[in-house]
Amino acid sequence: MNLDIARKKMVESQIIGRGIEDSRVIEAMLRVPRHLFVQEAMSAQAYSDSALPIGEKQTISQPYMVAYMAEKLELRSSDRVLEIGTGSGYHAAILAGLAQRVYTIERIPVLAVKARKLFDTLGLTNIAMKIDDGTVGWSQEAPFDAILVTAGAPRIPDGLLKQLAVGGRLVIPVGDEKEQVLIRVRKDEDGGFSEESLLDCRFVKLIGKEGWKGYE
Ligand code: SAH
């Protein structure tokens, strides 16, 4: 099937069909060519309803999960958003169409380099990227209106909470190494935090100082 048609079908059945309503998220999912973010041999599967391997034992998330997390971040076009776990760069490319500027951190250099090339190819000039341990955030650029973690954490990293702006949202999978719950934390006007559990999920491990240790 033609990949543009496959993408349209993916959005209709997996995204709109499962209840994603934010029109900006839907538009971004229609626009960003997911097949460029998967390994070339897998481009025919790029619009299937699943996560896919991207090398280095990492995965690009299932399209629905990408859209769901993006919707839950409640992004406005003036927002600055931090993503931990660039991976293929697909999620960052989606966020780039929803926010003013995206800051994304990846710990594995080969993945980061590939993602950077794709951002350049697609002309996504509002994405800043660095190779580092993202569990401690990006203090020089803080505070952020939204923070997205795309790897499973054993607990919510304190440093990320500190880098949220008032009214800011953090979306993060938290749990053990096999299963997690997607959690949204909001920083309230009084400086406190409110937390809600959204859905069960499975992500690769968030590895680092405030994540899983001993895998470095
Ligand atoms: N958002 C990605 C999903 C990538 S999977 C996409 O759209 O493709 C999660 C990624 O998190 C992996 O690439 C992994 O290397 C990275 N990761 C894990 N721990 C990290 C850390 N502490 N800092 C930055 N990246 C991390």
What does the pLDDT read at residue 95? Answer: 98
Name the pLDDT band for 195 (thresholds 50, 70, 90): very high
At 78-116, the pLDDT tens digits run 999 999 999 999 999 999 999 999 999 999 999 999 999
Whole-number Å distance, alpha carbon 133 to ligand 1 midpoint, is 10
**Residue 115 neighbours by CB distance under 10 Å:** 23
Name the pLDDT band for 216 (thresholds 50, 70, 90): low
What does the pLDDT read at residue 15? Answer: 98
**Which runs of E-coded beta strand occur in 28-109?**
52-55, 58-60, 80-84, 101-106
Name the pLDDT band for 202 (thresholds 50, 70, 90): very high
DSSP state of 47: T
Instruction: Report CA 163 to chain centroid distance, whole Å.
Output: 17
- Rounded mean pLDDT of 151-157? 98
- Specify whether the CB–CB gap between 27 and 42 falls below 8 A: no
Quick check: bond before 143 cis, omega within 30?
Answer: yes
Rounded to 10°, the helix 3-10/23-31 angle is 160
Binding site membership of 171 for ligand 1 (Cβ less than 6 Å):
no
Q: Would you say residue 23 has pLDDT above 70? A: yes
Structure pTM?
A: 0.98
Name the pLDDT band for 73 (thresholds 50, 70, 90): very high
Q: Would you say residue 182 has pLDDT above 90? A: yes
Binding site membership of 32 for ligand 1 (Cβ less than 6 Å):
no
Round to whole Å and give the CA distance between 34 and 144: 26
| Residue from 61, 77, 78, 139 carrying the catalytic annotation | 61
What does the pLDDT read at residue 87? Answer: 98
